[in-house]
Amino acid sequence: MNRNDEYINILSQLEDTPVKLDYTCDRALARYKEHKRRRIKQTFLVPLLVLVLICAVFTVLVNISPVFASAVDALPFIGKLAELVSYTPLPFP
């Protein structure tokens, strides 16, 4: 067999697509969509959860610790916020 026949044989083998490569683009697109969904979750949901947890801890600290509440009361904006979240039971008539 000469080199030209071997070259033609190799070219004919390359024309046939292997079975594993048939759905490569579909799998890559599905992986990209999953990565995009995960990136959106990390970009927006995690900071939102951290913000909610900070607000919850601030509310609990203002209502449980009088030292923390009085220290925060001296700050301009946070003092108003502490007044807003502090729990004061209503007196019974």
pLDDT of residue 63: 92
pTM of the model: 0.59
Q: What would the pLDDT profile of 11-69 be if each residue is shown by its tens digit?
A: 888 777 777 777 888 888 889 888 988 888 788 888 999 999 999 999 999 999 889 98
Q: Specify whether the CB–CB gap between 82 and 59 falls below 8 A.
A: no
| Rounded CA Rg of the chain | 32
Alpha-carbon gap, residue 74 to 17, rounded angstroms: 73
Residue 80 has pLDDT above 80, yes or no: yes
pLDDT-based confidence at residue 86 (cuts at 50, 70, 90):
confident
